[in-house]
Every structure is written in structure tokens, then in C-alpha cells.
Amino acid sequence: MAGLTIRSVRKNYGPVPVIKGVDLDIAHGEFVVFVGPSGCGKSTLLRMIAGLEDITEGTIAIGDRVVNDVEPRDRGVAMVFQSYALYPHMSVYDNVGFGLKLAGTPKDVRDAKIREAARVLQMEHLLDRKPAQLSGGQRQRVAIGRAIVRQPDVLLFDEPLSNLDAALRGDMRMELARLHKDLDATMIYVTHDQVEAMTLADKIVVLDGGVVQQVGTPLELYNKPANLFVAGFIGAPNMNLVAGTVDAINAGELTIALGATKVRVAIEGATSLKAGDAVTLGVRPHALTADASGPLKGIVQLIEQLGNETVVRVKLAEGEEITAVLPGQSGHAVGAPITLAFDPASAHLFGTDQLRVG
């Protein structure tokens, strides 16, 4: 296995820029997830690494070798697509080993590699079956087996779980995490599902509009989003983002006016903000509590009872709508008043440039 280095990579389709200067370092053995909304460029960047898309500018190196002009089959990568693309007339055994057969791998070596891949993926009992006899999760395992049997330097995954139902996606996430640990492989995984990104990644790369917005561990992105886009994208439910103005500045703390409501926000270090500056206040739904002494007063618009917690949609007195996730089975009712509070240290603040303050 090997690491990956991406320097100043751009991709244009005619005059239209799609990837706008990406720089990344992916270490050997890392599980890196590219995440972002549809059309952000994450699959295009993955396909450029695989050699399925030409690079307009910049370089991509796998290990110490620049692979810009290297054919896909010679790059030392293997890719698992959203579509399983299995041969329906072949057994699982033959599907997994088909690429090795085309490459002229001796039969005994091919057999050993197929059976080892089957052992790693816990599908030894499926080798004689045809794809039509498999569940969706089993078919995805076969597609993964076909990739890992080649023992590539880098494994690439393009939204491989999006065709599965929710329960099966959860099971397959655990399978992929276990596979990464067993193989000690360098893996790059594309998804629009930030829950997949948070649960699988050693490192997340957040993309929007072909630009890297932030790179970091899942908790780094959750706890300290670099800008408004990352703040609104990472976390479920989404972070509440409310427009306000700076009312007062004290050491390590700001008072923010949200209309007639004033709230306190703790910040780290010095700030260039001054009274009257426009800001955006960010508060995670799980950071809100029902507290009669809190500053946020509103009316309950919607309730989702999930058993262990309750999701409450609230319309504030100023007209903004926010979401709170309250522990347990809430006794609140639609149309009833509610008052919410949050720890000033749990809040996030963003300036007019949309960058994090503090």
C-alpha cells in the first residue's frame, strides 16, 4: 500500500472549472472520505486519481510515482463503484477472480487470492453462487472482493452503499471499517452522506464547488468547522445558524443580539469584531436544552419522538426556526411555548466573510 499526494490539481470541462486547485496529502493506511453535496466535484476528483478522468493542471502521485500519464490499470489502484457491475452468468468465485484471469495470473495463485479475499470478506460460503442468488449487501461484498484481490496500493470507493437500505448501510459501514483494519489499506471513499463520513473516516475532506473547504478528523470538523458551509454540512441534524449582531464584547465572551434577544457566546483568543458587526450564530441541536430561564423563547412547530430522544422544531419570537434535540421522551406539544438555553462555550460564531471567529 502507498500514500497519495495531490498538488494544485484542476479539472475543466471546456471553459467550465470543476476542480479548482486541490492540494491533499493522504498517508499510507489512512481512510479518507471525500464528502460534499451533489455536484461538488468529489467523484470527479476520485476518478482523476483512478485515471478515468484527465487532469487539466497539477500532479497526482501514488507513493513516489507521478501517475498523471499512467494508464488506470497500471496505477496500482482498484475502484468499487455505486453499481455492483457483476457478471450475472458467472459464480462469485469467477467474478472475484475475473480481473486476475485477464491479467494471466497462474491458476493456483489466482485461487489462493480469491479464497483469501473471500475469507477477509466472510463470504467463503458464497463462492459457488450466482449474483442473482445474493442480497444487495452480498453483491457489494463481491464487488469489493474483486477490487481487493488485486492487492492495489490504493482502494477507491465511489458511493458504494447508496443503493442499500438504511439497516444494510449500517452493517456495511462496519464491514468496511473492519476491512480497513484487516488490510491496513489506503482507502479513499466518496459519499454525500456525512454520517458515513463521520463514522468511517480517519480524515474527512469537505468539498464544495470544486474547492476544499476543510480537511480534518471527524471531531475536528464537528467541533471547529472552519466556515459556514462546513458548519451547516457536518452534523445531523444540521447546525442551527441564526443571523445576529455583536452587542457587547468582554474578555473571552461576546453578547450577540438576535433581534430583541441577547445571548452569550464564548470565544477563544482575541477577536477583531466590534459592537454592531453582523455575525452568524451557530448552535448544534444537541447543545440546546429546555430551560425556563434560557434566552431563546419560541413556539413548538413540529415534534419527532424517537424514543431515546425528541427532535423539536421551534419558531423563535424573532421569526427564525431552529431545531433542538432533547433527551428522552419530551412532554412538549405542537403549538405550545418553549424556552431553550445553551452553554456559551458550545456555540459557534462566523463573521461576514463566513469564516469561523475564535
Write the pLDDT tens digit of every residue in 176-202. Answer: 888 888 888 899 999 988 888 999 999
Q: What pLDDT does residue 148 have?
A: 87
218-237 pLDDT per residue, tens: 999 999 999 999 999 999 89
Q: Is the peptide bond before 37 cis (omega within 30 degrees of 0)?
A: no
Distance between CA atoms of residues 34 and 191, nearest Å = 6
What mean pLDDT is reported for the chain? 92
The lowest-confidence range among 8-12, 46-50, 270-274, 343-347 is 270-274
The conformation of residue 126, written as its DSSP 8-state character, comes to G
42-54 pLDDT per residue, tens: 999 999 999 999 9
119-163 pLDDT per residue, tens: 888 899 999 999 999 988 888 889 989 988 988 889 999 988 887
Distance between CA atoms of residues 144 and 283, nearest Å = 39
The lowest-confidence range among 88-97, 179-188, 310-319, 348-357 is 179-188
304-331 pLDDT per residue, tens: 999 999 999 999 988 999 999 999 998 8
Q: In 98-150, where do the E strands start and end?
A: none
CB 235 within 8 A of CB 284: yes
9-56 pLDDT per residue, tens: 999 999 999 999 999 999 999 999 999 998 999 999 999 999 999 999
Distance between CA atoms of residues 58 and 295, nearest Å = 51
Q: What pLDDT does residue 192 have?
A: 87
Going by C-alpha positions, the residue among 247, 250, 245 that lies closest to residue 279 is: 245
The pLDDT confidence band at residue 217, using thresholds 50, 70 and 90, is: very high
